[in-house]
Amino acid sequence: MTNKITVMKGDGIGPEICDAVMQILKAAKADVTFECFEVGEAEYKRNGELIPKEAYESFERNRIMLKAPITTPIGKGFRSLNVTLRKRYDLYANIRPAKSNTAVVTPFPNVDIVTFRENTEDLYVGVEEEVDENTVHATKIITRKASERIIEDAFEYALKHGRKKVTCVHKANILKLSDGMFLSIFQEIAKRYPSIIAEDKIIDALCMRLVMDPSEFDVLVMPNLYGDIVSDLTSGLIGGLGLLPSANLGKDHAMFEAVHGSAPDIAGKHIANPTALLWSACMMLEYLGQNDCAGKIRKAVDVVLAEGTSVTPDLKGNATTEQYRDAIIAKLS
Ligand code: NAI
């Protein structure tokens, strides 16, 4: 049965990259159909809702979503729709694979790191309190349940994909109770996976090691905020935000999106790189068991990146999003 996919086209560069990705999936004959929705501030101005009711209903029916980035106002305004979606559908595992591509030259040719970011709690619960006009408290929440499931998923992934090591990333030297609990749960669960090396790193030391020698690392697991920051760092190691895909998985729903944001600085210029969203779509196809189709698309992207003549400006080319899209479509076989 053809899989129906709920698509949120996002804002900023969202609609441009989303259209390119859907066209590539169509050309690759992916066995999917799309139910597309406009979301975000523009939709709010049009219809009074940031995410229309029909979009929620579609996701509840289909359980699979391809989502383009959505702008979140800084400092004031509405709560992040990304955080809202992750929380509402308990999409607790944010999986972000960063792998070097031989065609994209960086100082680090050997990166192959998968970050498991806990996606539902930590400082992202959004509980802030103004104690007085000069003092604000923000609440960091870490629970055993949420920590166990993300750590277990990281080890299960390592086992399934023949990975050698899982590194727990924390700041338990300072946050002795919250990160201390995350670390001790990691140490308990690690005992069940004797074939996998389990180590831990303090977040600051990890960042230093990552930019000295990222080939030291394999699978990383960490609370929400560290995962947000570290995964952007890993995107930098492989050539930038335009190249980092992600899956947000829960028990019942799955949402696939690029790690980057809506890039308002380049929106509408038709120079956005759609690769991160396209690779997220490949993760979606693999999730649906359409591995051959995902493989075909990945191969076409590799060829276009290797040729280097039709890549977007972030990869030092001068192609538009649409020219890059067409070059990939031409290589599908
Ligand atoms: P950003 O990721 O949108 O942009 C950072 C830099 O990377 C910019 O210079 C941008 O031009 C470049 N960039 C990002 N994606 C690119 C692509 N595909 N191709 C070429 N260049 C690309 O981060 P920023 O500016 O901090 O955030 C903008 C908005 O996006 C904010 O409102 C933020 O809250 C939101 N955001 C949304 C996310 C989501 O929907 N999942 C994730 C991260 C941020």
pLDDT level of residue 72 (50, 70, 90 thresholds)? confident
CB contact at 8 A, 170 and 147? no
How far apart, in whole angstroms, are the C-alpha atoms of residue 119 and residue 227?
Answer: 9
Which of 124, 157, 226, 324 is an active site residue? 124
CA atoms within a 13 Å half-sphere pointing along the CA-CB vector of 136: 5
Q: Name the residue of 86, 241, 246, 255 whose CB sits within 8 Å of the most ligand 1 atoms, as the mutation to test its pocket.
A: 241
Please report, for the chain, the start and end positions of each structural domain, with discontinuous segments joined by +: 1-96+241-333, 105-238
Q: What is the mean pLDDT of residues 188-210?
A: 98
In this prediction, residue 333 carries a pLDDT of 78
How far apart, in whole angstroms, are the C-alpha atoms of residue 69 and residue 40?
Answer: 9
Assess whether 124 carries a catalytic annotation.
Answer: yes
Atom of ligand 1 nearest to the CA of 257: 41
Q: Within 10 A of 223 (CB to CB), how many other CB atoms are there? A: 29
How far apart, in whole angstroms, are the C-alpha atoms of residue 319 and residue 4?
Answer: 31
In this prediction, residue 73 carries a pLDDT of 76
How far apart, in whole angstroms, are the C-alpha atoms of residue 272 and residue 206?
Answer: 30
CA 260 to ligand 1 centroid distance, Å:
5
Same fold, 1-96+241-333 and 105-238: yes
Which of 204, 213, 252, 292 is an active site residue? 204
Q: What is the mean pLDDT of residues 183-187?
A: 98
Q: What is the mean pLDDT of residues 179-191?
A: 98
Minimal CA–CA distance to 236: which of 260, 255, 219, 218?
260
How far apart, in whole angstroms, are the C-alpha atoms of residue 36 and residue 62?
Answer: 12
- Cα–Cα separations (whole angstroms), residue 82 to 72, 140, 141, 257: 9, 18, 18, 10
CB contact at 8 A, 242 and 275? yes
Q: Convert the pLDDT of each residue in 201-260 to its tens digit.
A: 999 999 999 999 999 999 999 999 999 999 999 999 999 998 999 999 999 999 999 999
Token pair belonging to 268: 């509408």
How far apart, in whole angstroms, are the C-alpha atoms of residue 207 and residue 202?
Answer: 9
Percentage of the chain exceeding pLDDT 70:
100
In this prediction, residue 208 carries a pLDDT of 98
Indicate if the pLDDT at residue 325 is higher than 80: yes
In this prediction, residue 48 carries a pLDDT of 84
Phi, psi of 219 (to 5 degrees): -110, 135
Helix spans in the chain (H): 14-27, 41-47, 53-62, 81-88, 144-160, 178-190, 203-212, 224-238, 275-287, 291-307, 321-331
Indicate if the pLDDT at residue 79 is higher than 80: no
DSSP SS3 for 208: helix
In this prediction, residue 133 carries a pLDDT of 96
Closest residue by Cα to atom 25, ligand 1, is: 263
Token pair belonging to 182: 């995350």
Fold of 105-238: Isopropylmalate Dehydrogenase (3.40.718)
CA 17 to ligand 1 centroid distance, Å:
12
Lowest-confidence region among 39-43, 60-64, 287-291: 39-43
Assess whether 204 carries a catalytic annotation.
Answer: yes
- The beta strand positions in 64-186, using DSSP E, are 64-67, 93-99, 112-118, 128-132, 135-138, 165-170
CA 277 to ligand 1 centroid distance, Å:
12
Indicate if the pLDDT at residue 78 is higher than 80: no
Minimal CA–CA distance to 103: which of 320, 329, 315, 324?
315
Q: Which CATH class for the 1-96+241-333 domain?
A: alpha beta
Atom of ligand 1 nearest to the CA of 70: 40
CA 262 to ligand 1 centroid distance, Å:
4
Q: What is the mean pLDDT of residues 64-70?
A: 96
Q: What is the mean pLDDT of residues 127-132?
A: 96
Which of 11, 19, 228, 314 is an active site residue? 228
Q: What is the mean pLDDT of residues 174-187?
A: 98
In this prediction, residue 129 carries a pLDDT of 96
How far apart, in whole angstroms, are the C-alpha atoms of residue 242 and residue 312?
Answer: 10
Atom of ligand 1 nearest to the CA of 13: 18
State the helix-helix crossing angle for 321-331 and 14-27, rounded to 10 degrees.
10
Indicate if the pLDDT at residue 74 is higher than 80: no
- Cα–Cα separations (whole angstroms), residue 16 to 60, 218, 300: 25, 33, 20
